[in-house]
Structure 1
Amino acid sequence: MIQLTATEQATLDRAADAPMLAQVERWAAINSGTGNLAGLKTVAGQLADAFAALPGELRLVAPDPVESVDAAGRVNIVQRGEHLHLRVRPDAPVQLLLTGHMDTVFAADHPFQTLTWLEDGVLNGPGTADMKGGIAVILAALTALESSPLADRVGYDVMINSDEETGSHASAALIAELARGKTAALTYEPALPDGTLAGARPGSGNFSITIHGRSAHAGRNPEEGRNALVAAADLALRLNALKSGELKVNPARIDGGGPNNVVPDQAILRVNMRPSTPEAMGGAESALRAAVASVSREHDVHCHIHGGFNRPPKPLDAAATRLFELVRTCGAALGIDIAWKATGGVCDGNNIAACGIPVVDTMGPRGGAIHSSDEFLITGSLAERAQLSALTMMRLAERGTV
């Protein structure tokens, strides 16, 4: 076991003493579903006030425009909230990126709005684990780091976006910009209840395929029509058949159709694809386009593909493995057993890894049942994970590299 120095212990004590639980209770009491712009603005303001205690330049960044295809096939611009960005010591020899998200999956009218203690040390509430708790850990760890003699060796960018839960379309460019040239990155999605971290992750892509056919009377001249709904169903079956050990495919919805006596002239197929490797992602996109071309030809319809792979696969390369091992070593020094395993979920860690930056993306507190009204935070893990982050950053400062 690697012993902690007196200086390290003092820094870690400061991390553990931060008022994280009170912050989580305050922030999670505000609905900040991705589409709730008023709630996101309130949370962003509170986060800006909290992070202003750190040195550096803090700003709220306007979201990039996001396109969405509605049920009628129209492409609309969806508004997202502002993102928080803090930059500290950009000229320091070690440069880190820390990311989190202020949005949740719970809309303003969702019934899950309040906090409940399930038992001592287990807090149920929207966003407690995913990830208001993670944001509190970021702030506690960085506040403690600023008290360390190693602080001058570390510069960092903190990015807390407003749209992670819907794919980070309005913040992807900002993430890529801030990841450039970083030594390493830490993202604060929650760890599993037992503390296990997410290792390799698949990629994810969401597609809306609009199919234009030709309407006709269903009884008088159906042969003159081109049934877009049937073409969409055929395409859904073809895409579903692409499933393999390296590719998950979920045809999720078909919008379209109309009166029973009219051949439908438009349908929209929604599908999610999750490739486990970059090669599988390339193959999936090629197979999708080939299936669309075949359906277009065989059904005599016109198809338009909207969307793409917004989360590239995140395999564990050598640099990422070294960063995980450093986190495990730091955990051992704190008496915490750190393990990791592959997971089927995706997050901003995918986007960071695609920039060639090693990242551990579950540095947040322990919790579970996320994306449901059973979501819970193990509150004792706030101090534990703040210390783990602070020590990891100090060790990176000492080493100068991953």
Structure 2
Amino acid sequence: MKKLLLASALFLGHAAQAQKLTATERKIVASVQRNMPNSEQLLEQVVNINSGTLNVKGVREVGTVFQKEFEALGFKTEWVAMPVGMQRAGHLVAERKGSKGKRLFLIGHLDTVFELDMPAGKFTRLNDSTATGQGVNDMKGGNVVMLAALQALQANGLLKNASITAYFTGDEERGGKGPEARADFIARAKQADVALAFETATNLHTVATARRGASTWQLNTFGTASHSSGIFKPGVSYGAIYEAARILTDFRETLSQEQYLTFNPGLLVGGAEVNYDETKARAEVVGKTNIIAAAATVSGDLRFLTEAQKEAARTKMRAIVAQNLAGTRAEITFTDGLPGMAPTPGNQKLAALADQTSRDLGHGPVAAGNPGSRGAGDISYVAQYLDCLDGLGASGKGAHAAGETINLREFPMLVERAALMIYRLTR
């Protein structure tokens, strides 16, 4: 009897929520549900194609699959080529021109972190609600969420006169160097009103109104090589390794408690001689326990919410680097990467739309997540130009690691939400 009452309550709850959808919106949801087997089949197809950033052929192959799907929806498609020396696949763009509603810029990426020589499995169902595979949620799942949402709209004749650009970069996980890598991406985004990015959803109830930016730094320290028995004596160098350790400790003690700011020394080498190849992230080191280290190199990242926070952190880091131990010197250089995506009132309005849409569907509330829980993403390149919302893609666990999963139970719900958000924005 209790189970019957619970089932009845759930049915009545969903029925009540459904009343908040228009007749057209209920048709959109029905189309999403009918097409879900095809959506999952497409997801399996693209997951089974390796598209590590440096596997140019694989990235293009995945892009070609999506290109055909978008052309079937009446989108005009093209590939934006990158300079040959960049060794990147380029970007896939699909566009529909119109004058109705907001002009949308939808963001995905074709590449994954899984290169050909890395362990990563094919698409595999673990149970009724979970599947695993390379890039299954980051972000091939997100790409399919976007496409499936548009397919549901097209099935009901609702893409007519909508202005939508779907932009799939080919090197989000390992961006090409130089302004050319995102010049076209930024230029097209500036022509839109709203950007929606389909990176991994933290869960069904969280979206991203802000994302941290990411940059890198390299610290080089120098000492004077001599016999280790003299260390700590007047006139004898403390050595490059102690100087590097001092700086890293001061970084941690001075900056580690600031909200949204993180910095990680990912590589450290030191000794009598150091030869560091930055392009390959490899080093050759020569040293002995009885020789004071003459050189050390540390490479790391710096993540931040705003440009002001980034610059303030760099200023403090430079000051720490300048306070050298006896007989040592140090220098630090910074390289910009992805900018930060700061929270804005416009972004919050989009989050409110996601929340209302989810509630109307009966899927529960949606709130803006903690920016500190996410890494950087392509949307940050354009966040200063238009209202933005991210985290609209597939949900799952273990992104960037072997065993990455997608939540298949939430997958259709996320497609429904995306479809109705796009529909409401383009009215």
TM-score when scaled to structure 1? 0.83
* Residue of structure 2 aligned with 1:203, choices 207, 213, 222: 213
How well do the aligned residues superpose, as a CA RMSD in angstroms? Answer: 3.1
| Partner residue, 2:193 | 183
| Partner residue, 1:325 | 352
| Partner residue, 1:53 | 72
Greater gyration radius: 2
- Mapped to 1, the partners of 2:301 and 2:309 lie a distance apart of 14
- Mapped to 2, the partners of 1:169 and 1:17 lie a distance apart of 43
- Mapped to 2, the partners of 1:64 and 1:237 lie a distance apart of 41
- Aligned pair 1:119/2:119, yes or no? no
The superposition leaves residues 344-398 of structure 1 with CA deviations (integer Å, 9 ceiling, x where unpaired) of 2123265156324222211112222222223211223332222211211111122
Write the letter of the residue equivalent to 2:54: G
The superposition leaves residues 127-148 of structure 1 with CA deviations (integer Å, 9 ceiling, x where unpaired) of 1111111111111112233345
- Please give the secondary structure, in 2, of the residue aligned with 1:151: coil
Query: Unmatched 5+ residue regions in structure 1?
Result: 66-76
Checking the alignment, whether the CA contact within 8 Å between 1:179 and 1:355 is kept in structure 2 is: no
- Mapped to 1, the partners of 2:327 and 2:51 lie a distance apart of 44
- Mapped to 2, the partners of 1:396 and 1:366 lie a distance apart of 23
Post-superposition offset of 1:175: 3.3
- Mapped to 2, the partners of 1:93 and 1:328 lie a distance apart of 20
- Please give the secondary structure, in 2, of the residue aligned with 1:12: helix
- Mapped to 2, the partners of 1:154 and 1:116 lie a distance apart of 36
- Mapped to 1, the partners of 2:122 and 2:315 lie a distance apart of 45
Post-superposition offset of 1:28: 0.7
| Partner residue, 1:69 | none
Q: Is the deviation greater in 217-226 or in 42-51?
A: 217-226
- Mapped to 2, the partners of 1:361 and 1:36 lie a distance apart of 26
- Mapped to 2, the partners of 1:159 and 1:120 lie a distance apart of 31
- Aligned pair 1:20/2:32, yes or no? no
Post-superposition offset of 1:99: 0.7
- Mapped to 2, the partners of 1:298 and 1:359 lie a distance apart of 50
Q: Is the deviation greater in 225-234 or in 303-312?
A: 225-234
Checking the alignment, whether the CA contact within 8 Å between 1:20 and 1:133 is kept in structure 2 is: no
Write the letter of the residue equivalent to 1:51: F
- Aligned pair 1:30/2:59, yes or no? no
- Mapped to 2, the partners of 1:298 and 1:205 lie a distance apart of 30
Checking the alignment, whether the CA contact within 8 Å between 1:172 and 1:351 is kept in structure 2 is: no
* Residue of structure 2 aligned with 1:303, choices 331, 341, 354: 331
The superposition leaves residues 194-219 of structure 1 with CA deviations (integer Å, 9 ceiling, x where unpaired) of 543334333322222345x4774547
- Mapped to 1, the partners of 2:326 and 2:337 lie a distance apart of 27
Q: Is the deviation greater in 357-366 or in 53-62?
A: 53-62
Q: Is the deviation greater in 155-164 or in 381-390?
A: 381-390
Post-superposition offset of 1:299: 5.3
- Aligned pair 1:359/2:367, yes or no? no
- Mapped to 2, the partners of 1:302 and 1:366 lie a distance apart of 44
- Please give the secondary structure, in 1, of the residue aligned with 2:141: helix
Checking the alignment, whether the CA contact within 8 Å between 2:213 and 2:376 is kept in structure 1 is: no
Q: Following superposition of structure 1 onto structure 2, how do residues 120-139 of structure 1 map, counting pairs within 5 Å?
A: 120-139=128-147
The superposition leaves residues 171-213 of structure 1 with CA deviations (integer Å, 9 ceiling, x where unpaired) of 44343222214221111122234543334333322222345x4
- Mapped to 2, the partners of 1:129 and 1:244 lie a distance apart of 31
| Partner residue, 2:13 | none
Write the letter of the residue equivalent to 1:285: R
* Residue of structure 2 aligned with 1:8, choices 3, 17, 25: 25
* Residue of structure 2 aligned with 1:234, choices 246, 251, 261: 246
- Please give the secondary structure, in 2, of the residue aligned with 1:159: strand
Write the letter of the residue equivalent to 1:235: I
Structure 1 residues 89 and 270, CA gap change in structure 2 (3 angstroms): same
Checking the alignment, whether the CA contact within 8 Å between 2:67 and 2:92 is kept in structure 1 is: yes
Q: Following superposition of structure 1 onto structure 2, how do residues 193-272 of structure 1 map, counting pairs within 5 Å?
A: 193-211=203-221, 213=222, 216=225, 218=227, 227-241=239-253, 242-246=255-259, 247-257=261-271, 258-260=286-288, 264-272=293-301
- Mapped to 1, the partners of 2:100 and 2:45 lie a distance apart of 33
Checking the alignment, whether the CA contact within 8 Å between 1:164 and 1:347 is kept in structure 2 is: no
- Mapped to 1, the partners of 2:175 and 2:257 lie a distance apart of 23
Checking the alignment, whether the CA contact within 8 Å between 1:231 and 1:299 is kept in structure 2 is: no
The superposition leaves residues 42-88 of structure 1 with CA deviations (integer Å, 9 ceiling, x where unpaired) of 222323233222323312222469xxxxxxxxxxx763332211222
Q: Is the deviation greater in 126-135 or in 9-18?
A: 9-18
Q: Following superposition of structure 1 onto structure 2, how do residues 76-95 of structure 1 map, counting pairs within 5 Å?
A: 79-89=87-97, 94-95=102-103
- Aligned pair 1:292/2:305, yes or no? no
* Residue of structure 1 aligned with 2:414, choices 352, 371, 385: 385
- Please give the secondary structure, in 1, of the residue aligned with 2:310: helix
- Mapped to 1, the partners of 2:327 and 2:189 lie a distance apart of 45
| Partner residue, 1:39 | 58
- Mapped to 2, the partners of 1:78 and 1:311 lie a distance apart of 21
Q: Is the deviation greater in 45-54 or in 17-26?
A: 45-54
Task: Give the paired residue count.
Answer: 384
Post-superposition offset of 1:236: 2.1
Checking the alignment, whether the CA contact within 8 Å between 2:209 and 2:388 is kept in structure 1 is: no
Structure 1 residues 195 and 126, CA gap change in structure 2 (3 angstroms): farther
- Mapped to 2, the partners of 1:320 and 1:114 lie a distance apart of 36
- Aligned pair 1:395/2:424, yes or no? yes
- Mapped to 2, the partners of 1:299 and 1:240 lie a distance apart of 23
Structure 1 residues 195 and 15, CA gap change in structure 2 (3 angstroms): same
- Mapped to 2, the partners of 1:49 and 1:152 lie a distance apart of 19
